[in-house]
Amino acid sequence: MRANLSILITAVLLVFTQSACSQQTRKMKLNPLTPAEQAVILHKATERPFSGEYENNYAKGTYVCKRCDAPLYRSESKFDAHCGWPSFDDEIKGAVKRIPDADGKRTEIVCANCGAHLGHVFLNEGFTPKNIRFCVNSISMKFIPDKVMTEQEKNQETAYFASGCFWGTQYYLMKAPGVISTTVGYMGGHTKNPTYKEVCTGETGHVETTEVVFDKTKTSYDALVKLYYETHDFTQVGGQGPDIGDQYRSVVFYTSENQKHIVEKYIGILTEKGYKVATILRLAPEFWKAEDYHQEYYEKKHGTPYCHIYRKIF
pLDDT (0 to 100) of residue 7:
43
Look at residues 178, 244, 263, 253 and name the one whose alpha carbon lies nearest to residue 211: 253
Percent over 90 (pLDDT), the chain: 78
Q: Which of 65, 111, 114, 165 is catalytic?
A: 165
pLDDT in tens, 62-98: 999 999 999 999 999 999 999 999 999 999 999 999 9
Q: Is 200 a catalytic residue?
A: no
Label residue 150 by pLDDT band (50, 70, 90). Answer: confident
Q: If you average pLDDT over every residue of the chain, what do you get?
A: 89
Distances in Å between the Cα of 185 and the Cα atoms of 81, 225, 229, 261 are 52, 19, 19, 24
Q: Which amino acid is at 55?
A: E
The active-site residue out of 65, 111, 114, 135 is: 135
| Mean pLDDT computed over 177-191 | 94
Contact 189, 206 (CB under 8 A): yes
Q: What's the rounded mean pLDDT across residues 224-242?
A: 93
Q: What's the predicted TM-score (pTM) here?
A: 0.57
Report the amino acid identity of residue 186. Y
Q: Where in the chain is the domain with CATH 2.170.150.20?
A: 30-145
Assigned superfamily of 151-301: Peptide methionine sulphoxide reductase MsrA (3.30.1060.10)
Q: Which CATH code for domain 30-145? A: 2.170.150.20
The pLDDT value given to residue 27: 56
Residue extent(s) of CATH 3.30.1060.10 domains in the chain: 151-301
Residues 114-124: pLDDT tens digits? 999 999 999 99
165 is catalytic: yes
CA distances from 177 to 62, 65, 160, 164 (A): 39, 46, 17, 22
Find the helix packing angle between 221-230 and 257-272, rounded to 10°.
Answer: 40
Q: How confident is residue 109, by pLDDT bands cut at 50, 70 and 90?
A: very high
Q: How far apart are CA 211 and CA 177, in angstroms?
A: 15
- The bridge status of strand 132-136 relative to strand 280-283 is unpaired
Dist. CA 183–CA 160, nearest whole Å:
10
- Helices vs. strands in the chain: H and E counts, helices first: 8, 17
